[in-house]
Amino acid sequence: MTRLLTALLLFAFGALHAEAMDIPLAVTGLAHPSLKTTPTQGELRKSDEYLKAGLAFLLKNAPQRAVDEFNDSVRLAPRAENYKALGTAYYQAGNSAKAAWAYRQSLHLKDDAQVQALIDSLEGKDHPEEQFKDKNDEIRYGRLLKSAAAHEKAGRRDSAMRDYLDAYQLKAEPAARHPIGRLAAGLVDDYLAAHSTAKAIEVMIQARHAYEGARDLTPDEMKSLARLEKAETAVVKMTGEKLREHEIAMQTDKERWERHLAEIEASKGGTRVNIDNHR
């Protein structure tokens, strides 16, 4: 990373502390489908809380935790400053591709010469989402797409989704991404119907990571993401915990997390999570 880019990143991060919190709201079609064009005052206040929490995590050198907070801030009220903060967090977490995407969203909402310079530097350095590391990855990518399609045709949706996710890690392009939302939505509905809340949450987390920073979503993908969000709302209501809190617990001690969910399900008499009430 060039000295200029490092200086600009520090400038962008430092500027977040001084920026006013009343930047006019704008509409972005590249963010999460649940975003509203005009957040309520309550959503705006909550978005600010997530923004401040994310900044605190950046100061503690915990960029991935900051990414979670900033994503929550953006989902509630997309603004130039929280997208800029998200870009800084992604960069510090080592994800230059998503950092460039977040900075670009900030620039769409508010002109900023420094942010444009950051984007130019990041995109001039590399485009990891648009190329393979080597020929072996390119060959593996093609094989994964073929095996995923075969699994889906045979009704093995969990195996199909796993292969599409692996392919998407090799190259973040629509051919691998498009089926993920559809498969995830169907699997989550099935798992919840079978009282397998832990498996449903794992799929939600996988889908969320796959769609972070995704561009040019198709209408079908938007519908699938809307289904996933309704299922997530139902799960959060049942467990009292957000998806990212489940992810942290799962990564910390998966067995303990699964027991915790089983206890919750047992305390509710194995009642099926009712997604219909959230449609």
What CA–CA distances, in Å, run from 244 to 8, 166, 227, 279?
A: 30, 21, 18, 22
pLDDT of res. 223: 92
Q: How far is CA 83 from each of CA 6, 61, 77, 109, 140, rounded to the nearest angstrom? A: 18, 18, 10, 9, 34
- Residue 27's pLDDT is what? 26
pLDDT of residue 124: 60
CA distance 32 to 177: 15
Does position 35 have pLDDT exceeding 60, yes or no? Answer: no
Report the residue count for the chain: 279
Q: What is the pTM of this model?
A: 0.55
Closest CA to 132 of 91, 170, 82: 170
Is 131 in a helix, a strand, or coil? coil
Domain 3-125: give its CATH superfamily. Tetratricopeptide repeat domain (1.25.40.10)
Q: Return the pLDDT at 15.
A: 45
Contact 268, 238 (CB under 8 A): yes
Tokens of 247: 């992810």
Ranges of H-type helices in 196-253: 197-211, 219-239, 243-252
Angle separating helix axes 96-109 and 113-125, nearest 10 degrees: 150
What string of H, E and C letters represents the secondary structure of 28-78? CCCCCCCCCCCCCHHHHHHHHHHHHHHHHHHHCCCHHHHHHHHHHHHHHCC
Q: Which pLDDT band, with edges at 50, 70 and 90, does 256 fall under?
A: very high
- Where helices occur in 126-173 by DSSP H, the ranges are 135-153, 157-170
What pLDDT, in 10s, does the model give residues 206-249?
A: 998 888 767 677 888 889 999 999 999 999 999 999 888 998 88
Q: Residue with structure tokens 């809190």?
A: 245
Tell me, what's the pLDDT at 215?
67
Per the CB < 8 A criterion, the answer to whether 165 and 156 are in contact is no
Tokens standing for residue 153: 């045709």
Q: How far apart are CA 82 and CA 21, in angstroms?
A: 10
Helix axes 243-252, 219-239, angle to 10 degrees: 70
Q: How far apart (Å, rounded) are the C-alpha atoms in residues 99 and 103?
A: 6
* Geometric angle at alpha carbon 112, from 109 and 114, rounded to 5°: 135
Mean pLDDT of 2-17: 46
pLDDT at 205: 92
What distances in angstroms separate CA 250 from CA 45, 169, 259, one per listed residue?
A: 29, 21, 11
| pLDDT mean across residues, the chain | 80
Q: Report pLDDT digits (tens) over 73-114.
A: 999 999 999 999 999 999 888 888 888 889 989 988 888 887
For CA atoms 277, 200, 93, 107, the dihedral sign is negative
Do the Cβ atoms of 197 and 231 come closer than 8 Å?
no
